[in-house]
């Protein structure tokens, strides 16, 4: 899927956007031909599109890995690309190698959007690894859903503990530092209460 936006090429060889969807940036950049990739793990709205929470759509390639992109799109079509956008970049294990090859060898403008940290505030995937490759890095934040301050962190609202858990507002909320810390305290207290109830129930059987 290609987007032909009909403007002069802007030479940004590797641009990293942390913490936001790639869609708005791709629509604003002045380029000729764009292909957008996302992880096929992201099936929240549509497999063949990037969809924002407010309903904006952008066609994309949903792939398990980036190394298959050239073969999927075809070598000739790949050579015609000016820009490659990668959304949900934290899910691609081969992110570093692909960005090196596309930007350094093939001369593509690569726009990468993804999360730098998970709900535990630890590095998530390879997004931080490609920052040394980037010509520019932009870290964007949402607003805390509880107080309206800048939200640098993500609070998981469910009790699942796996690192990769795809979800929207039903699973995650953006929060400031204060409400992240307070939220973790509440979550841990709730878990302790539930565990104690299980132990008490078990003692009666």
Best CA proximity match to 114, nearest among 99, 104, 125, 103: 125
Helix (H) or strand (E) holding 60: none
Active-site residue, from 88, 93, 188, 195: 88
Neighbouring residues of 14: CB distance < 8 A, sequence distance ≥ 6? 99, 103, 109, 110, 112, 130, 133, 134, 135
Neighbouring residues of 31: CB distance < 8 A, sequence distance ≥ 6? 5, 7, 9, 10, 82, 83, 109
Rounded to whole angstroms, how far apart are CA atoms 97 and 167?
27
Give the alpha-carbon dihedral of 199, 201, 202, 205, to 10 degrees. 160
Is residue 145 flagged as an active site residue?
A: no
**3-class secondary structure, 3:** strand
Rounded to whole angstroms, how far apart are CA atoms 196 and 198?
5
What are the residue numbers of the active site? 88
């Amino acid at each position: 899927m290609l987007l032909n936006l009909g403007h002069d090429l802007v030479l940004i060889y590797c641009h990293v956007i942390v913490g936001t969807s790639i869609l708005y940036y791709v629509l604003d950049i002045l380029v000729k031909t764009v292909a957008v990739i996302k992880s096929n793990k992201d099936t929240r709205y549509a497999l063949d599109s990037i969809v924002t929470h407010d309903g904006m759509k952008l066609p994309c390639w949903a792939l398990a890995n980036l190394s298959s992109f050239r073969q999927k799109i075809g070598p000739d079509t790949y050579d015609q690309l000016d820009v490659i956008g990668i959304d949900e970049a934290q899910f691609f294990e081969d992110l570093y190698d692909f960005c090196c090859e596309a930007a350094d060898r093939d001369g593509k403008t690569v726009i990468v959007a993804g999360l730098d940290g998970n709900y535990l505030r630890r590095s998530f995937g390879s997004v931080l690894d490609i920052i040394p490759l980037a010509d520019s890095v932009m870290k964007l934040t949402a607003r805390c859903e509880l107080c309206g301050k800048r939200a640098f962190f993500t609070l998981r609202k469910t009790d699942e503990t796996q690192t990769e858990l795809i979800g929207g507002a039903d699973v995650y909320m953006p929060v400031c530092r204060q409400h992240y810390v307070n939220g973790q305290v509440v979550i841990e207290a709730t878990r302790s209460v539930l565990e104690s109830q299980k132990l008490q129930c078990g003692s009666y059987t």
